[in-house]
Amino acid sequence: MYDKACPACGKRLSEFYNTSMLGCPNCYHAFETEIEFALRKIQGKGFHVGKTPQNTALDRELLSEYQRLIKEKERAGVEGRFEDMCEFSDQLLELKQELRKRGLI
């Protein structure tokens, strides 16, 4: 079992056990039964989930929008646009709830 190697890149299963790193995407299929428990422990799933979570781009976009709304609210206050300020506050509250739900703030 330790001498098993990936047919695509040649990485050995014993190397995975030493480093917790595989050589290529094909390794996940080549060593599937041997590494499922380790992947579940490392990534929370029994399969490869990638280097970054899928929702990272959306999370960044939401955080960016939150920062933009804060600046717009401040600008509205300085300029005396109090109705706009209230609208930005409502949008911020809604967005803040979503960010909390996602564990981002």
pLDDT digits (tens, 9 = 90+) for 37-72: 776 666 665 555 555 555 577 888 888 999 999 999
Range of the domain at 36: 1-50
Same domain, 30 and 62: no
Same domain, 1 and 46: yes
List of residues 6+ apart from 39 with CB closer than 8 A: 28, 45, 46, 47, 48
Same domain, 64 and 85: yes
Q: Domain tally for the chain?
A: 2
Same domain, 79 and 41: no
Same domain, 4 and 20: yes
Same domain, 12 and 44: yes
Radius of gyration for the alpha carbons in the chain, expressed in angstroms and rounded: 23
The model's pTM: 0.49
pLDDT digits (tens, 9 = 90+) for 82-97: 999 999 999 999 999 9
Same domain, 1 and 44: yes
Between the alpha carbon of residue 9 and those of residues 37, 48, 62, 67, the distances in Å are 22, 17, 39, 44
Same domain, 9 and 43: yes
pLDDT of residue 31: 84
